[in-house]
Structure 1
Amino acid sequence: AVINIGADRSAKHFGESLEKYLEVKTFNVTKTVGFSEIQNIANELKTFDRVIVNILGTSNKPKKDFGITDNINLLLSKMDKNKENILTIYTNAYSLYKLKNLDNFSSIMVAYQDSKEAQKAVADAIIGAIKINGKLPVSAGQFIEGDGITIGKAIRIRRNVSPFELGLNPADLKKIDTIALRGIKEKAYPGCRVLAIKSGNVIVDRSYGHQTYENRKKVTNQTVYDLASITKIASTTLSLLQLTDLNKFDPNNNLCDYLPDIADTSDYFNMNLKEILSHTAGLKPWIPFYDYTLVNKTPSSKYYRNFPKDGYSKVADKLYIDHSYADSIYSKILTNPLRDKRNYKYSDLGYYLIYRMFPHMTSLSLEDYVSANFYTPLGLKTIGYHPLKRMNKNLIAPTENDRLFRNQVLRGYVHDPGAAMLGGACGHAGLFSNAYDIATIMQLFLDKGNYAGEQFFNSTTFDFYNTAHFAKDKNRRGVGFDKPVMNPDSGPVCNSASASSFGHSGFTGTLVWADPEKDLVYVFLSNRVYPDAGNRKLIDMNIRTDIQQVLYDAIDKAEHRNS
Structure 2
Amino acid sequence: MATKLLVLCFALCGVWQVSAQHPAVPEMVSHRVDSIMTEGIRAHAFPGAELLVARKGRVIFHRAYGYHTYDSLVKNRNGDLYDLASVTKITAALPAIMKLVDEGKIVLDEKFSTYWKPWRRRKDKRDLTVREILAHQAGLEPYIVFMNDVLKKNGKFKRRFVRRAPSSRFSLPAYDSLYINKRFIRKMYRKINRSAVSDVKKYNYSGLTFLLYPKIVENLTGEAFDTYVTENFYRPLGADSLVFTPELHHFPLQRIVPTEQDTLFRKHFVQGWVHDENASLMGGISGNAGLFGTAEDLFRLLQMYMNMGTFGGKRYISEATLKEFTRVQYPDNDNKRGLGFDKPLLNNPELDIARASPAPQVSMNSFGHGGFTGTYVWADPDHELVFIFLSNRVYPTRNNGALYSMHIRPSLMAVFYEAFGDGAL
**Displacement after TM superposition at 1:356 (Å):** 2.4
Residue type at the aligned position of 1:524: F
Which residue of 36, 60, 64 maps to 1:207? 64
Residue type at the aligned position of 1:369: Y
Residue type at the aligned position of 1:322: N
Q: Is the 8 A contact 2:96 2:217 kept in 1?
A: no
CA distances 1:96-148 after superposition (whole Å, capped 9, x unpaired): xxxxxxxxxxxxxxxxxxxxxxxxxxxxxxxxxxxxxxxxxxxxxxxxxxxxx
Q: Which residue of 2 aligns with 1:162?
A: 23
CA distances 1:166-185 after superposition (whole Å, capped 9, x unpaired): xx533234200000111001
SS of 2:105 mapped into structure 1:
coil
Residue type at the aligned position of 1:494: A
**Displacement after TM superposition at 1:263 (Å):** 4.0
CA distances 1:230-253 after superposition (whole Å, capped 9, x unpaired): 111111111111111111112221
Q: Is the 8 A contact 1:492 1:505 kept in 2?
A: no
- Cα separation, 2, equivalents of 1:369 and 1:477: 26
Q: Is the 8 A contact 1:259 1:360 kept in 2?
A: no
1:448 paired with 2:308, answer: yes
Which residue of 514, 525, 530 maps to 2:379? 514
CA distances 1:61-116 after superposition (whole Å, capped 9, x unpaired): xxxxxxxxxxxxxxxxxxxxxxxxxxxxxxxxxxxxxxxxxxxxxxxxxxxxxxxx
**Displacement after TM superposition at 1:491 (Å):** 5.0
SS of 1:320 mapped into structure 2:
strand
Q: Which residue of 1 aligns with 2:212?
A: 353
- Cα separation, 1, equivalents of 2:356 and 2:217: 31
Which residue of 324, 337, 347 maps to 1:464? 324
Which residue of 266, 269, 272 maps to 1:406? 266
Which residue of 339, 344, 364 maps to 1:499? 364
- Cα separation, 2, equivalents of 1:437 and 1:338: 37
Q: Which residue of 2 aligns with 1:148?
A: none
* 1:408 to 1:505, Cα distance in 2 relative to 1, 3 A: same
Q: Which residue of 2 aligns with 1:320?
A: 179
CA distances 1:334-368 after superposition (whole Å, capped 9, x unpaired): 11111232210111112112232111211122211
Q: Is the 8 A contact 1:160 1:202 kept in 2?
A: no
CA distances 1:174-201 after superposition (whole Å, capped 9, x unpaired): 2000001110011000000000001111
Alignment of 1:243-262 (within 5 A): 243-262=100-119
Alignment of 1:17-416 (within 5 A): 160-163=21-24, 169-295=26-152, 296-312=154-170, 313-390=172-249, 391-416=251-276
| TM-score w.r.t. length of structure 2 | 0.91
Residue type at the aligned position of 1:408: H
Q: Which residue of 2 aligns with 1:421?
A: 281
- Cα separation, 1, equivalents of 2:256 and 2:362: 30
- The share of aligned pairs that are identical, in percent, is 34
**Displacement after TM superposition at 1:416 (Å):** 0.7
- Cα separation, 2, equivalents of 1:475 and 1:279: 8
Which has the larger Rg? Answer: 1
Q: Is the 8 A contact 1:224 1:432 kept in 2?
A: yes
* 1:221 to 1:462, Cα distance in 2 relative to 1, 3 A: same
* CA RMSD across the alignment: 1.5
Q: Is the 8 A contact 1:195 1:524 kept in 2?
A: yes
- Cα separation, 2, equivalents of 1:357 and 1:182: 44
Q: Is the 8 A contact 2:122 2:193 kept in 1?
A: no
* 1:416 to 1:491, Cα distance in 2 relative to 1, 3 A: farther
Which residue of 430, 433, 437 maps to 2:290? 430
| TM-score w.r.t. length of structure 1 | 0.69
Higher relative contact order (CA 8 A, sep 6+): 2
Which residue of 333, 338, 344 maps to 1:484? 344
Q: Which residue of 2 aligns with 1:118?
A: none
SS of 1:237 mapped into structure 2:
helix
- After TM superposition, the runs of 4+ consecutive aligned structure 1 residues lying more than 4 A away are none
SS of 2:52 mapped into structure 1:
strand
